[in-house]
Structure 1
């Protein structure tokens, strides 16, 4: 990620998101190669649409959907538990995206919610982070579906990327809204930040609205 608008790296998205931003910046700065990281056992990838566990694929029968998610959670828990203690708090679980999990669970929202709750417990038990991505347009025909409401309830940080309300612009590709509830457990003072962003060839530049002429 690239910092724009003349601000220092301690401002803008870093301040809005907090420690989690540093992990993604570190990945970009180090020129992270996911294939190499996978070979070095620092990156683990599970394809939910082809996920298998003893017996059957989760797409084969309705009764196996829950078992598939339980098996997946077990694999994630094992990977993190086997890490040295000093590395556990630098783990980030990324779900991309939640709607695909619903497909894998044959449309069962309850199974997906249970899975998300289990993964969320790992953030407190093992000190890792959980990032769940969702495409809002998939649920555009629904009025605040339960799955989205539950995700927002669990989240400490909400990040929403969307097009500009005024339409496309040459130097601004969209806007970013960050809601940070903080980690003090009080939940009384939310921090809301708004940015514009521009997608470049190898990174994303973000800046305050109106800071570009």
Structure 2
């Protein structure tokens, strides 16, 4: 039985051998104990693979370009080359200046400006008639976007809704990473619930229910809300498997499949 991570994870995500499914919204949720960043790295590599002409627009709040370049090189993907070839567009938000006294207006303004830049990049690169040319918009930490927006979840939601419209207008995909556990003590985590509602695919990275293990780093639950069965009807599908993050890959496997 083939346990290659790309096959298991891609199958769960509903990806085919050539490109991402058109116009999908993917939400990755993780926690302090179990990071879901490796899914983001996998999707970057997948979107920029040699048998596609995909383009990635990456909005970084958590880590600089050098961090992702180092990780993706280990996975066999050179982000410097992809950037020079206009396939990887990196928006570094780590140096974003803190909002001033008029913080609410300022946070809204930079989010509007950021969306404008993303839309311009999508318009310049999206080719709806070419099924291979998929634009994927990614952001690595929605919670830090909320911090940068002076705590305004409404402004962040507006921004994500605007990005969501691009998936139907241009056929691009939207991938976001957020930390589920920061909302556990809050009443009515509107931002998280709204993001889960928008998502076509929800991925949860969690620690093992049985506790720590040396050969397993955690478990993934993938809820794919729309799986076409070939007869123009859709159904929900849930995948559960374990994973182990290695130096230059991630191994995914079903529980009980390893001896």
1-side partners of 2:194 and 2:99: how far apart? 25
Correspondent of 2:251 among 194, 201, 205: 205
Equivalent residue number for residue 99 of structure 2 = 59
Correspondent of 2:85 among 40, 45, 50: 40
Cα RMSD over matched residues? 2.7
Q: CA deviation at 1:12?
A: 2.5
Equivalent residue number for residue 111 of structure 2 = 69
* 8 Å Cα contact 1:58-1:68 kept in structure 2: no
Q: How many residues align?
A: 203
* 8 Å Cα contact 1:98-1:134 kept in structure 2: yes
- Unaligned runs of 5+ residues in structure 1 are 52-56
Closer, same or farther: CA 87–75 of 1 in aligned 2, 3 Å? farther
Q: TM-score w.r.t. structure 1 length? A: 0.84
* 1:6 matched to 2:2: yes
Equivalent residue number for residue 159 of structure 1 = 203
Q: CA deviation at 1:39?
A: 2.2
Equivalent residue number for residue 126 of structure 1 = 170
* 8 Å Cα contact 1:89-1:128 kept in structure 2: no
2-side partners of 1:148 and 1:162: how far apart? 16
Q: CA deviation at 1:188?
A: 6.8
2-side partners of 1:210 and 1:188: how far apart? 29
Q: TM-score w.r.t. structure 2 length? A: 0.70
Moved more, 76-85 or 14-23: 14-23
Higher relative contact order (CA 8 A, sep 6+): 2
SS in 1 for 2:162: helix
Q: CA deviation at 1:47?
A: 2.4
SS in 2 for 1:93: strand
Q: CA deviation at 1:58?
A: 6.0
Correspondent of 2:125 among 55, 79, 83: 83
* 8 Å Cα contact 1:179-1:192 kept in structure 2: yes
* 1:16 matched to 2:12: yes
Alignment of 1:72-111 (within 5 A): 72-83=114-125, 85=127, 86=130, 89-111=133-155
SS in 2 for 1:77: helix
Equivalent residue number for residue 54 of structure 1 = none
* 8 Å Cα contact 2:126-2:135 kept in structure 1: no
- Unaligned runs of 5+ residues in structure 2 are 21-42, 51-75
Q: After TM superposition, where is structure 1 displaced by more than 4 Å over at least 4 residues in a row?
A: 7-11, 20-23, 27-30
Moved more, 23-32 or 138-147: 23-32
Moved more, 71-80 or 36-45: 36-45
2-side partners of 1:29 and 1:210: how far apart? 31
More strand by share: 2
Q: CA deviation at 1:210?
A: 0.6
Q: CA deviation at 1:189?
A: 2.6
2-side partners of 1:26 and 1:163: how far apart? 25
